[in-house]
Amino acid sequence: MANILMPKATAVWLIDNTTLTFQQIAEFCELHHLEVKGIADGDVAQSMRGVDPVARGELTRDEIKKGEADKDYRLKAVAHNIDTKVPQPKRKGARYTPISRRGDRPNAIAWFLFHHKEVTDAQISKIIGTTKATINAVRDRTHWNSQNIKPVDPVTLGLCSQIELDELISKASEKRRKLEAESGNEGPGLQPIEPEAEPEADEYDERKRSDGLTAETLFNLGGSKN
């Protein structure tokens, strides 16, 4: 894949506006040098309008000067940091769900309740466009179609994209981990077990005397009273 968006149109501009060699232009535009020569001769890309790579931010004037001064110099394109993550538009309120897919929402709710309990009702409501009342009905099995509800991935049902689902689960899991960490650090915990105090001397003697009583002793005591 070329580093520039319009290689042939860029080659046309470089041929018309610089003294770079065909080889230099071919290497920069990732074209064959014979193709560049054909462009210069008018056999290739006829009537094509040139595109300025400097204006497009793909090449600098200094690079062109270096190339014109040294025929063996290879032009370097301007490096751009490309963010491969596609930004998702922010929504206000619940998602709109087509009528044809609204019957699938209870299955998606059941999937969240079964597989990802860390996701809140508000988050479920927002990502698949449902209401908290419906969520509670599925959870309590009071939904009118409870017998036919089965946990199904909302991406498979077409209610959201995989990127949206992964982002939601990641946020919910991170929030739960933080809450559990805070609860573990600040919780009351178990009280330490205190060792049982040793009985005092008088109490120990009294226990010893009580423990020394036998059936014979009690019988003798009873007979002495008579």
DSSP state string for the chain: --SSS-HHHHHHHHHHH----HHHHHHHHT--HHHHHHHHHTSSSTTPPP--TTTTTSS-HHHHHHHHH-TTPPP-PPP-----SPPPPP-SSSPP--GGGGGGHHHHHHHHHHH-TTS-HHHHHHHHT--HHHHHHHHHT-STTGGG-----TTTTTSS-HHHHHHHHHHHHHHHHHHHHHHHHHS--PPPPPPPPPPPHHHHHHHHHHHT--HHHHHHHHHHH-
Instruction: Tell me the per-residue pLDDT of 138-178, one tens digit each, with 9 for 90 and over.
Output: 999 999 988 999 999 888 888 888 888 888 888 888 888 88
Looking at residue 207, what is its pLDDT?
A: 53
Is pLDDT above 70 for 198?
no
Per-residue pLDDT, averaged over 127-146, amounts to 90
Q: Which residues contact 160 (CB under 8 A, 6 or more apart)?
A: 95, 127, 128, 154
Candidates 37, 39, 41; CA nearest to 6 is 39
Looking at residue 226, what is its pLDDT?
A: 47
Looking at residue 50, what is its pLDDT?
A: 86
Q: What is the pTM of this model?
A: 0.40
CA distance 168 to 173: 9
Domain ranges of the chain: 7-69, 99-180
Looking at residue 210, what is its pLDDT?
A: 52
Looking at residue 68, what is its pLDDT?
A: 92
Is pLDDT above 80 for 194?
no
Instruction: Tell me the per-residue pLDDT of 70-112, one tens digit each, with 9 for 90 and over.
Output: 999 999 888 755 444 445 555 555 555 555 566 788 999 999 9
Looking at per-residue pLDDT, the higher value among 139 and 224 belongs to 139
CA distance 213 to 223: 15
